[in-house]
Amino acid sequence: MKKYFTLAIISLISALSFGQKTGEWCATDQLIQQQFQNDASLQETFHQQMMAAAKYRHTNSGNRAGIVIPVVVHIIHDNGAGNISDEQIQSAIDILNEDYNRMNPDTSTTRNTVDAPFQLQAGSMDIVFKLAKLDPNGNCTNGIVRVNAPSLTYNADEDCKYSANGGSDQWPRDEYFNIWIVNTIDNGGAAGITLGYAYLPYGGAGGTGYGILMRHDSFGVIETADNSDGRTLTHEMGHALGLSHIFNTGFGGGGSTGCHLDDCDANGDYACDTPPQEEANWSCSQIWNSCSEIPTGDTYGFDALDQIENYMSYNACQNMFSLDQAGIMQANFISISFLNNLRSPANLVNTGVNDPDVLCKADFEALNRSICSGTVVDFNDFSFHGPISWTWTISGIEGTDYNYVNGTSAATQEPSVEFISSGSYDVQLVVSDGVSTETELKTSYINVIPLPNSIDLIEGFEGYTSFGATDQWSVYNPSGNGFEVVEGISRSGWRSARLLNFGQQSGNSDELISAPVDLSVIDPLTESITLSFRYSYKKRFESNNEWLKVFITNTCGETWVQRKTLQGSQLSPNVQSSTWVPSSATDWTTIHMTNITSTYFVENFRYKFEFESDGGNNFYLDDINIYKGSPSDVLVGVDETGNFIESMSVYPNPTAGSVNVRFALANGGAASVIVTDLAGKQMEAHQLFAAQGNNLLQLETAKYASGVYLVQLNLGGVTHVKQLMVE
């Protein structure tokens, strides 16, 4: 199982937009405020350290040393676009070095007018960021760590920074500057997009979380970041080295923010050559002036315009740090111990940043590893440093069962290979720089899924004793317990799928992924599909908030869409403090999914179950069915003798989104759920194989107008009706 921690700091990320050229968000201020909430003394600590840096910059303005910073970039990805190339990573580092040394090509756009005399106040850090060449153990590295963690790379937060969760641990912060790259970042449910955030280096600097977290599509200026100007990293690095936003920062020890008349070395952003700015803005207006106040000690001595060019603004025309900002960052490399060690000559030797490039590692990855027959796999070479030849070997199946395509061959650096026959394939890469060679072998690396199952699938896990003994299912389980076949516990038959969740730590995530099912035979004009399954689960503690999610795909697993979610008390309101084992039919709930639309009527339809734990109890899965046609068709495991509706509920009610129709039956049978308005107009109807015991059907009401509706359950001539209010 995968372990991850959800910190409160990320849940509060909201309400602050991050401009750059995209009008999107930086979440650093929310991170700072949450630190202050957790430890009230930190606010004064930040204030004192910022004032100390401001004082240092005055007394040591002519004594600035050149700085070299070893960098490690952790790529948290799902084998998709977020697994960015080495070249894109280097492009981000290149932009960083340009901006911090005032070598960026847009320096000429810095204003030098009477009201905005900023060109002479533009600062340079005399700093170079370099990818590390030796890791903390002294082994060869290219300064890039790649971790395949699908559950951590979307809506990412601090979880991705820890290997215990399946993420990537911080390399020692006094030896390496750490950057984590993900697909998307949690924005706390607010509107808009969070591009990145960083801890400031004060007051403990977030400990093992210190560094920058960023989206891949804002990192660098090529490939997935083609529409980015690369300045998100420049901005977030400014925070990490000690700079606040130039507007209304608010973390000084009770000091003034925004527009103020107070000492500029102890208020606002602590930089006297960045005129006070009342609030964030995204304009590049050449006459923008949000404050008329002139702080004590102000560099200009008059009401200068807002410094829209500043990297620590949200404006889209950023191109400079000020001299005072550069001085603050330089001061922090002297006074903050872990930053001081980071740049030390001994550390530069230990991290190898100045060593020559020598071939020391063969490595590769593929975008898709679990594929359908006929799929073309593109292999990406991540070998380093400086290979000039490549030799690929694919084994495990007859050589005629795969082909190099698109003009590639076994000697191509990044070949494209079409896999034909089902089974597991080993892949080996040998690279050479003309002097030495390196080899990487990955066994069972490509798994070609067998031909699709036919429609009217019935899966009770009866045909095999383990998931390793069948090609009908694959288990995603980075560590700990995963889904397994268990005997003697089932809703019908003898076996079921079990996830031993009891005793696991909060935040584990596991998946059970199906082989393809052929839905191409379904007529989208006259027929529909229902996916049903049974599960058994109880909470361990009343507070448990665990999730069951069901995903479907029409691309054989390249992309997935979530179509079912059960959470907390929806999953089960019942609690059992001891290990949960179902013992009767009433311990099982049957789920009916009717939202598999015609776009999924393809030959290689697949589905998967994902369970996310919160320290709760065991979870069981059985009797998975995919069927079409009328409910008179036979469903294995459903007793059709006698009909009696024991209970029915509709919740949440009122609703503004999805609504659950839960009902319990004395015996199973053909049932229908019909929704009408008060005038009798039918909104939707679903024909189901209802099971004995608990059943749950989820309806989407987004297409309904606000008002009152009737939800009607029909079974064997018996009808129950509940009112539903849609807001």
Per-residue b or e along 319-342, where b marks 16 or more CB atoms closer than 10 Å to that residue's CB: bbbbbbbbbbbbbbbbebeebeeb
Pairing of strands 495-499, 547-553: unpaired
Per-residue b or e along 14-36, where b marks 16 or more CB atoms closer than 10 Å to that residue's CB: eebbbbbbbebbbbbbbbbebbb
- Cα-Cα-Cα-Cα dihedral sign, residues 550, 556, 557, 559: negative
- CA-closest candidate to residue 552, choices 542, 543, 564, 561: 561
Which long-range CB contacts under 8 A does 34-38 form with residues at least 24 apart?
Answer: 34/8, 34/9, 35/9, 35/203, 35/206, 36/251, 38/8
* Torsion-angle region of 724 (φ positive above 0: left; ψ -120 to 50: alpha; else: beta): beta
> Burial of 223 by CB count in 10 Å (0-12 exposed, 13-18 middle, 19+ buried)?
middle
User: How far apart (Å, rounded) are the C-alpha atoms in residues 167 and 507?
Assistant: 13
The single residue of 24, 158, 175, 236 carrying the catalytic annotation is 236
DSSP codes joined into one string, 476-528: E-SSS--EEEEES--SSSSEEEEE--TTPPTT-EEEEEEPPB--TTS-TTT--
Q: Are 426 and 395 in contact (CB under 8 A)?
A: yes
* Residue that the structure tokens 């790649």 belong to: 146
- CA-closest candidate to residue 179, choices 79, 102, 342, 70: 70
What are the CA-CA distances from residue 421 to residues 105, 376, 445, 513, 557 (Å)? 53, 12, 15, 20, 17
Beta-bridge partner residues of 196: 26, 214
Helix 28-38 vs helix 41-59: crossing angle, to nearest 10: 120
Q: Residue 145: CA atoms inside 13 Å, Cβ hemisphere, count?
A: 26
Pairing of strands 693-700, 658-665: antiparallel
- CA-closest candidate to residue 674, choices 724, 717, 720, 713: 713
User: How far apart (Å, rounded) are the C-alpha atoms in residues 416 and 437?
Assistant: 23
* Torsion-angle region of 364 (φ positive above 0: left; ψ -120 to 50: alpha; else: beta): beta
Neighbours of 68 (CB within 10 A): 17
Neighbours of 98 (CB within 10 A): 16
Which DSSP letter does residue 320 get? B
Which DSSP letter does residue 452 get? P
Q: Would you call 612 a catalytic residue per the annotation?
A: no
Lookup: tokens for 592 = 């009916």
Pairing of strands 693-700, 589-593: parallel
Amino acid letter at 266?
Answer: A
Helix count and strand count (H, E) for the chain: 9, 36
Lookup: tokens for 426 = 């080993």
What are the CA-CA distances from residue 24 to residues 8, 27, 152, 190 (Å)? 22, 10, 21, 12
Catalytic residue list? 236
